[in-house]
Structure 1
Amino acid sequence: MTSATPQQTASALHLTAPALVACDIDGTLLNTGELPTAAARAAVERVRAAGHHVVLATGRSLVGALDAAAELGLDDAWIVASNGAVTAHLVGGEYEITDLHTIEPEPVIRVAVESMPGIRVAAEVVGVGYRVNTPFPDGELPGEQRSVRVLEELWAGPTPRLAIYGPAAFGLVPVLRAMSLTAIATRPDWVDVTPPALSKATALDKVRRQLGVEFHATVAIGDGENDLEMLRWASRSVAMGHASERVLAAADTVTGTIDDDGAAAALLSLLG
């Protein structure tokens, strides 16, 4: 028997209560390095005006997520950043961190630099930017980059997220997972490392309970490997049309690609 193929988003989701609508940022609401389109901004505003909660759920650091929130016109919203390691409530342009999970970075950094000499490693400094052993290319990391003089400075304190960047960085994923860490290769040359048993989904469920939203009124829209748990968690899930087969299979429905403003179409489907 063949498995069902997710259907293209077309009709309204017919939610009967204010929903929690979790949206990935890069590859979903906007192309990385670009501003969201007018259609995406308008769709977010219409969903919020209808009384639903739009929650940004991203692998970006909090600094990067705040930039996207401003670009989308969000000044009162919940943000799940660093793949679930950081949760913040944005109100009137100011934010409060409501949940923070960290790791001790030294073991990860030692494994990375010993296994792959010359690899770049960044340790997130929440709300500021990153400590880096070698500067990352422009556009790869939002916020400040502070280059350390010695590796010991790189692991000077706990961090919610490490970014590992270099050719074949994905090869580090098995050993990092064997260390009971969450390691996701978002690209062959990029691995995000966060605390164990953590994902966008674990953070979103806390936000859901904080907002008093029933589980049946949860929606998730995403396109990447770090969206898998979120798509499986939501009562209704939508994959972007350009997503990998694995992501498409995890979703209930499929919308258009990022170039087709697929997220805007999915958001508007909430409104009937």
Structure 2
Amino acid sequence: MVNNNNLAEYETDITGEKLRESGTIEVLPAQPFKIMCAQTELDPTGFDTLRQRFSLICEITASNSRLLEITPKGVSKGTAAAHLAASLNLDASRCAAVGDGESDLSLLRWAGMALSVANAIPEVKALAKFTGPSAEEGGLADVFDWLIAEKTSRPPI
């Protein structure tokens, strides 16, 4: 992770997880569950080398244009949702998911109904049955309103 930047604080605020900054992986005290890589410059190709080198052995997704998340192969929002749904005896066809970024793609592909907001990346919007206004404009509330209206307009499953 790049030291001395606001990206670590931003991610900590979102996840509630305390991030440990490290110059190299060799100094970590244990095997990490997730590695986050941050770039200070807004460069869409900045993470290409990591993707090319490790995508066959790890899940690699961007949580935004400056943060890359690396997790063990098979660990994603989609697999987490599938495990949770299975524990609740829910089929994916009865589940909806909302997303806006690359890290949401596996979840949206898994869910029976994918939804998004206007500021979502094009790949997310392409999966969405409905896209609300941007998140900054209260789009998530509009997505939920649409979902409730959609659910109540159809007969129960």
TM-score (norm 1): 0.45
Task: Kindly provide the amino acid, as one letter, of the partner of residue 232 in structure 1.
Answer: R
Shift of 1:136: 4.2
1:258 to 126, 135, 139: 135
Q: 1:259: Cα distance to partner? A: 2.4
For 1:183, what is the secondary structure of its paired residue? strand
Q: Choose between structure 1 and 2 for higher RCO, CA contacts under 8 A separated by at least 6 residues.
A: 1
Structure with the bigger percentage of helix = 2
Please tell me the residue identity of whatever aligns with 2:78: A
Q: How does 1:244-255 map to 2 (within 5 A)?
A: 244-255=121-132
Q: Structure 2 matches for 1:124-163, cutoff 5 A?
A: 134-137=3-6, 139-142=9-12, 143-146=17-20, 152-153=26-27, 155-163=28-36
Q: 1:189 to 1:150 in 2, by over 3 A?
A: closer
What is the SS of the residue equivalent to 1:198?
coil
- Which residue is equivalent to 1:194? 71
Match of 2:55 among 159, 162, 177: 177
The answer as to whether partners of 1:222 and 1:231 remain within 8 angstroms in 2 is yes
- TM-superposed CA distance for 1:163, in Å, is 0.7
Pairwise mapping of residues 5-84 of structure 1 onto structure 2 (< 5 A)? none
Contiguous gaps of at least 5 residues in structure 2: 150-157
- The structural deviation recorded for 1:191 is 1.3
User: Structure 1's 148 and 192: CA in aligned 2 closer, same or farther, altered over 3 A?
Assistant: closer
Are 2:87 and 1:210 aligned?
Answer: yes
Say which SS state the counterpart of residue 248 (structure 1) adopts: helix
1:238-257 per-position Cα deviation (integer Å, ceiling 9, x unaligned)? 11111121111122221111
Q: TM-score, normalised by structure 2?
A: 0.74
Give the count of matched residue pairs. Answer: 139
Identity across the alignment (%): 22
**Retained in 2: the 8 A contact 1:170–1:188?**
no
Largest Rg, 1 or 2: 1
Is 1:170–1:190's contact at 8 Å kept on the other side of the alignment? no
User: Is 1:228 matched up with 2:98?
Assistant: no
CA distance, structure 2, for counterparts of residue 212 and residue 158 of structure 1: 32
Q: State how far apart, in whole Å, the 2-side matches of 1:208 and 1:149 are.
A: 38
Cα deviation code 1:50-81 (max 9, x no counterpart)? xxxxxxxxxxxxxxxxxxxxxxxxxxxxxxxx
Do residues 271 (structure 1) and 148 (structure 2) align? Answer: yes
Higher strand fraction (1 or 2) = 1
**Runs of 4+ more than 4 Å apart:** 145-151
User: How far is 1:157 from its partner?
Assistant: 0.3
1:20 aligns with none
Any gaps of 5 or more consecutive residues in structure 1? 1-118, 121-133
CA distance in 2: counterparts of 1:159 and 1:218, whole angstroms: 30
